[in-house]
Amino acid sequence: MSAVIESHHGDHHHGPAKGFSRWLYTTNHKDIGSLYLWFSFIMLFVGGAMAMVIRAELFEPGSQIVSPEFYNQMVTNHGLIMVFGVIMPAFVGLANWMIPMQIGAPDMALPRLNNLSFWILPAAFGVLLSTFLMEGGAPNFGWTFYAPLSTEYAPPTVTFFIFSVHIMGASSIMGSINIITTILNMRAPGMTLMKMPLFVWSWLITAYLLIAVMPVLAGAVTMMLMDIHFGTSFFSAAGGGDPVLFQHVFWFFGHPEVYIMILPAFGIVSHIIETFSRKPIFGYSSMVYAIASIALLSFVVWAHHMFTVGMPIAGELFFMYSTMLIAIPTGVKVFNWLSTMFRGSLTFETPMLFAIAFVALFTIGGLSGLMLAIAPADFQYHDTYFVVAHFHYVLVPGALFSIVAAVYYWLPKWTGYMYDEVLGKTHFWLSFISVNLTFFPMHFVGLAGMPRRIPDYAMQFADYNMIVSVGAFLFGLSQLLFLFNVLKCVYYGKSATAEVWEGAKGKGLEWTVDSPAPYHTFETSPDLTKPQTNS
């Protein structure tokens, strides 16, 4: 069907488009999913290179290889690229690939919109990265771009940064509209909402979050633009504005955003754990309610990022307790994953290793988040490396590991070929060891008072920083192994059998064990109108 549609684009009157045109004009959800995934993979190495510059500078105290100014540009762009250019596009790519297949739909509801929402992303990051070549240099005010630093003291390239953020936001909103429309309108007959796979559920909720908060981000950067070019004073105290207003607006977007970056991971990990435990997920409905609760609560906790601005004690209390409340549905999910594995027929293929590491290390990130939620204690942690350790535990062994797990898990389905299991396990162990080597010692230097975003540090932090830098370089190198494994699978992989995973006691395993009933492969849409029997 897509080939027929594509043949009418431009000059392509003779069959489907070939070469670059095929990718430029494609409306096929699998093609677009692949584009998103490759784009985020490329950006992972771009953002990763920036992290390597940061860690090389911090390898020992004193000034090493870059100026403080360039260091700040690295910190800012590393954060922006990893959040908006790696984690989010990768999850959208997985959504594009898997949601139509998991709900029995032929494609996404709005295929042309789907194409547009991808292709404006390379443009957005092209604009952002081009600032490195401009006079004044790239943005240098941190990925949270706090005003008035980002308005009154910023390089002239801040305008390009604002434009870039607008384009990324538009991409997210269009992608989300597409996902919601697809899920609500195109499910197979009989697939009620409470029979949907958990990955589909996690994305339905994430898409609503994105539509709710992306306009808030657009508002924040538009107010910045007005302050810079049109003489307004939204964030300037001298003109009657308020710098703290910026923080409120930014974090009202920013806190739901951090859940946008983890909810799809919950869906992925749920599928992988049930598959390799060979039993349905424990507490399916409680998993759905937990995701929904986390999403709703994410809107009322934003000011926990701002305990140090001098808010009233009542405000501190409200944001402290509401933040701690999020730990409950999150704990429910961890409990359900552990219960799914409990007494299951476990095997430990690469996707399962990444999923188990996710549960363990994401929990560490969650617990340090609970520490940061305690208002009086947060004055000690705020703006130290403890915060860096916390959110990297959630985002690297959390979000990134879940994306890697999903690629290993679904690659045989996508390509028809099997990846190299030995290489996959090697990649896992190198990543697992190096990620902890990199981010665990940050808790220690943070509690001891080492500030974040500073290119130099006191002598007592030297040993830990050296360990962290070695871990970071090892982690970066390990991802080249992942790239090699994916390419090897695509070009030289052995054909995947209908039941890829050899199960315990020789029993094979389906592509995915999904929502409660029905169990099915994706080759045929099941007739869900008949009563289901659980085999």
| pLDDT 10s digits, 83-113 | 999 999 999 999 999 999 999 999 999 999 9
Residue in 29, 166, 195, 255 annotated catalytic = 255
Cross-strand partners of 418: 494
Active site residue 270: yes
Active site residue 172: yes
Mean pLDDT for the stretch of residues 306-318: 97
- Angle (CA) 484-402-205 rounded to 5° is 135
pLDDT at residue 173, rounded to an integer: 98
Residue 495: phi, psi to the nearest 5?
-60, 135
Residue in 9, 452, 453, 488 annotated catalytic = 452
Would you tell me how many other CB atoms lie within 10 Å of the CB of residue 523? 8
Residue in 31, 107, 227, 514 annotated catalytic = 107
Confidence category of residue 279, pLDDT binned at 50, 70, 90: confident
Active site residue 143: yes
Cα–Cα separations (whole angstroms), residue 215 to 94, 145, 182: 24, 17, 22
Handedness of CA 328, 333, 334, 335 (dihedral sign): positive
Active site residue 164: no
Rounded CA-CA distance 316/306 in Å is: 9
pLDDT at residue 205, rounded to an integer: 98
Fold of 29-512: Cytochrome C Oxidase; Chain A (1.20.210)
Give yes or no for residue 505 having a pLDDT over 50.
Answer: no
Residue in 187, 195, 304, 427 annotated catalytic = 304
Give residue limits of the domains in the chain: 29-512
- Maximum Cα interatomic distance, the chain, rounded to a whole number of Å: 73
> Would you give the distance in Å from CA 530 to the centre of its chain?
38
Active site residue 236: no
| Both structure tokens of 16 | 């489907």
DSSP track, 74-113? HHHHHHHIIIIIIIHHHHHHHHHHHHHHHHT-SS-S-HHH
Give yes or no for residue 359 having a pLDDT over 70.
Answer: yes
Residue in 76, 172, 340, 384 annotated catalytic = 172
Q: Using an 8 Å Cβ cutoff, are 370 and 322 in contact?
A: no
Confidence category of residue 16, pLDDT binned at 50, 70, 90: low
Mean pLDDT for the chain overall? 92
| Both structure tokens of 244 | 């703290």
Active site residue 330: yes
Percent of the chain with pLDDT over 70: 90
Mean pLDDT for the stretch of residues 324-344: 96
Give yes or no for residue 55 having a pLDDT over 90.
Answer: yes
Give yes or no for residue 357 having a pLDDT over 50.
Answer: yes
Rounded CA-CA distance 197/98 in Å is: 10
Residue in 150, 171, 277, 293 annotated catalytic = 171
pLDDT at residue 529, rounded to an integer: 58
Residue in 29, 78, 187, 520 annotated catalytic = 78
Handedness of CA 295, 332, 320, 88 (dihedral sign): negative
Active site residue 271: no
Active site residue 171: yes
Per the listing, tokens 């939620």 go with 373
- What pLDDT digit, counting tens, does each position of 458-496 carry? 999 999 999 999 999 999 999 999 999 999 999 999 988
Give yes or no for residue 501 having a pLDDT over 90.
Answer: no
Rounded CA-CA distance 282/76 in Å is: 41
Give yes or no for residue 387 having a pLDDT over 70.
Answer: yes
pLDDT at residue 496, rounded to an integer: 84
Rounded CA-CA distance 72/61 in Å is: 16
